[in-house]
């Protein structure tokens, strides 16, 4: 909220630069500032009385209101305490109020919803007439073009929509969310009997474990044989066991004596045989 609280100071700085208001001294109300006693010229103290922030919605073109994910709608009540020397009379309070409101309405980028004031009262501490007034300002905290007032509360369009949101270093990507919520998948495939088969996934796995359903990882080719079939395998980005390799979007399994290593034959694509796998994102 610190950027919103700086709004009164920004308004004071802007009003102080307007030639048509050169006869008025502007100051911030919070923290309180001392005023001359007795008062010799008009002073307007600007403060922030109330802030209301709500979700922002826009029409999608079909009459349905859709929430703007990165936007908020803020309504701010700006308090104006107008102090006029006794000698200038109560009418001067309303003149100053009208001039200030007209200047803000027609010369600034403030979106003023409405404004108003109370009755003129006397302040004996400063020998001044006081008119308490207010303006309600609406602002879209959203990808908005910066105001000419350069309020800190208005975020620059490039900052919000460009480098900030697209910065994957400081923001979580959809891929990151999927990786956290579903770090692996478990599925199966049916052997085709061909020397190789490529299993395609929707991502590039970091590691894969493959094994034959209801089968030992290694079994002899026949009872008493010194040659074995491998019904399981493991692979990651750097290494892999016999019969399994990772691809850019899945993994590849091997089958047959042509891929034999020592006395072990990979048997990860036997025709009609069911295999299960776990693939890690």
Residue 39's SS3 state is: coil
**30 CB-near residues (< 8 Å, 6+ apart):** 8, 47, 48
Q: Is the pTM of this model over 0.85?
A: no
Per-residue confidence (pLDDT) for residue 156, from 0 to 100: 44
Res 176 pLDDT > 80: no
Kindly state the tokens that stand for 161: 């929509």
Q: What is the CATH number that goes with domain 2-157?
A: 3.30.2000.30
Strand order in the sheet with 25-28: 25-28, 43-59, 65-85, 128-141, 111-123
Cα 132 to Cα 15, 220, 241, distances in angstroms? 18, 96, 82
Q: Which of 277, 159, 267 is nearest to 207 (CA)?
A: 277
- Cβ(130)–Cβ(157) below 8 Å: no
Q: What is the pLDDT of residues 145-164, one digit of tens each?
A: 444 444 444 444 444 444 44
Could you give the angle at which helices 90-107 and 7-16 cross, rounded to 10 degrees?
A: 100
Q: What are the sequence ranges of the domains in the chain?
A: 2-157, 182-280
Q: What is the pLDDT of residues 14-54, one digit of tens each?
A: 999 999 998 899 998 755 556 666 778 899 999 888 888 77
Q: What is the pLDDT of residues 60-87, one digit of tens each?
A: 777 777 777 667 778 889 999 999 988 8
């Amino acid at each position: 909220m610190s950027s919103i609280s700086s709004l009164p100071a920004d308004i004071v700085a802007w009003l102080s630069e307007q030639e048509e208001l050169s006869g008025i001294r502007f100051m911030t109300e919070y923290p309180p500032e001392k005023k001359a006693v007795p008062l010799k010229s008009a002073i307007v103290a600007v403060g922030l009385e109330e802030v209301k922030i709500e979700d922002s919605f826009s029409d999608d073109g079909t009459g349905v209101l859709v929430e703007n994910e990165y936007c908020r709608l803020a309504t701010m009540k700006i308090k104006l305490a107008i102090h006029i020397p006794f000698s200038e009379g109560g009418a001067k309070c309303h003149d100053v109020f009208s001039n200030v409101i007209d200047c803000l309405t027609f010369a600034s980028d403030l979106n003023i919803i409405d404004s108003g004031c109370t009755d003129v009262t006397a302040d004996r501490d400063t020998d001044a007439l006081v008119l308490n007034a207010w303006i309600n300002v609406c602002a879209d905290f959203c990808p908005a073009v910066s105001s000419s007032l350069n309020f800190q509360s208005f975020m620059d369009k490039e900052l919000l929509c460009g480098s900030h949101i697209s910065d994957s270093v400081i923001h979580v990507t959809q891929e990151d969310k999927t990786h956290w919520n579903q770090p692996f998948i478990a599925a199966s495939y049916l052997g085709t009997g061909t020397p190789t088969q490529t299993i395609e996934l929707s991502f590039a796995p970091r590691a894969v474990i493959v094994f034959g359903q209801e089968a030992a990882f290694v079994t002899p080719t026949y009872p008493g044989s010194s040659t074995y079939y491998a019904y399981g395998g493991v692979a990651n980005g750097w290494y892999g066991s016999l019969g399994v390799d990772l691809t850019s979007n899945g993994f590849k399994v091997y089958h047959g004596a042509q891929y034999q290593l020592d006395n072990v034959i990979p048997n990860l694509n036997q025709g009609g045989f069911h295999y299960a796998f776990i693939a890690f994102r």
